[in-house]
């Protein structure tokens, strides 16, 4: 897998569960087919949207293995590794590699907040030991770590990473990042609400939480930006504001899973400590569902 393979929509897949909290692989099959049919250029199971931290090691591997089997080579599968430290991250990465992953989306370590130099060494040693291409997963709101532009530039220069999922909501940071990297790696927006801004400033695709629910609509937004139709892309993006208000009213993926079920793709409940969305959020979801149906987004 190369940087040029990271292009377009890579939906962040929720993990389908049944009422007892067990994996629902039949629902996963529907989810994979729907997203590939909707134009997804790759699939990202087991990130934050996939509830990585709530699942057992065996369940994580089972989801990745089944996603790879279902994708059947049509698109690459790049699972998220959202482990706080090196030993667990390495064990997970080896298992995902053996399950057929094309690359890995590795989060920066959290709880023990590292230095910039420590993160560089962490990614370099991980790449050497696991042997798969890496997408740098930067999500400072969850990890407490803000990646310096120079850190990414150096990891890109020596080939440690081929891409980056950017969840930093500072648009100026993204612009500085794109300028420093000069296209050496694939920048992927990780923020649904900033996607068009990121794409206009150099993102070549996105790993988005709402994309598995609306894959074709997000693909159309991406295609408009790529064609230079910025006004059209912005207009489409603005129609998603009620969706964003609902999906991010509480911690992802609780609202996403409920909204997907109401739109006809049942992916089950969330795992503790997350709970079903509150009544206030359910009202926002009901409004968002009306908008999605009225605009024929799904």
Run of H or E residues at 164: strand 163-166
User: Edge-to-edge strand order for the sheet containing 80-81?
Assistant: 8-9, 205-206, 186-189, 163-166, 134-138, 104-107, 80-81
* DSSP letter, residue 250: S
Catalytic residue ranges = 137, 165
Residue 54 has a pLDDT of 96
Q: If pLDDT is split at 50, 70 and 90, which confidence band does 298 have?
A: confident
Q: What is the pLDDT of residues 245-274, one digit of tens each?
A: 999 999 999 999 999 999 999 999 999 999
CA dihedral 87, 11, 256, 294 (to 10 degrees): 170
| Phi, psi angles (nearest 5°) of residue 206 | -150, 150
Helix, strand, or coil (residue 187):
strand
Distance between CA atoms of residues 35 and 214, nearest Å: 8
Global pTM value:
0.94
**CATH 3.20.20.70, domain 3-229, yes or no:** yes
Q: Which residues are annotated as a binding site for pyruvate?
A: 49, 207
Contact 91, 126 (CB under 8 A): no
């Amino acid at each position: 897998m190369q940087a040029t393979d990271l292009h377009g929509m890579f939906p962040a897949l929720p993990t389908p569960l049944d009422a007892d909290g067990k994996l629902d692989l039949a629902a996963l099959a529907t989810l994979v087919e729907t997203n590939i049919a909707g134009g997804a250029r790759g699939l990202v199971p087991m990130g934050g949207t996939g509830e990585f931290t709530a699942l057992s090691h065996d369940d994580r591997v089972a989801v990745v293995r089944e996603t790879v089997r279902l994708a059947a080579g049509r698109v690459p599968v790049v699972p998220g590794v959202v482990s706080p430290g090196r030993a667990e991250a390495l064990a997970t990465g080896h298992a995902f590699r053996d399950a057929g992953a094309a690359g890995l989306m590795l989060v920066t370590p959290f709880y023990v907040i590292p230095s910039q130099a420590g993160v560089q060494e962490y990614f370099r040693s991980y790449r050497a030991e696991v042997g798969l291409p890496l997408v740098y997963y930067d999500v400072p709101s969850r990890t407490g770590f803000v990646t310096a532009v120079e850190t990414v530039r150096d990891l890109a220069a020596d080939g440690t990473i081929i891409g980056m999922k950017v969840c930093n909501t500072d648009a100026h940071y993204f612009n500085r990042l794109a300028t420093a990297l000069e296209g050496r790696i694939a920048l992927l927006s990780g923020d649904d609400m900033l996607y068009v801004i990121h794409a206009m400033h150099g993102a070549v695709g996105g790993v988005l939480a709402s994309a598995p629910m609306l894959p074709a609509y997000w693909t159309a937004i991406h295609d408009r930006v790529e064609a230079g139709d910025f006004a059209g892309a912005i207009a489409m993006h603005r129609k998603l504001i009620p969706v964003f208000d609902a999906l991010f009213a509480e911690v992802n993926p609780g609202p996403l899973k409920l909204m997907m079920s109401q739109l006809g793709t049942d992916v089950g409940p969330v795992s503790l400590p997350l709970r079903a969305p509150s009544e206030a959020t359910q009202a926002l979801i009901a409004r968002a569902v009306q908008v999605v149906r009225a605009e024929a987004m799904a």
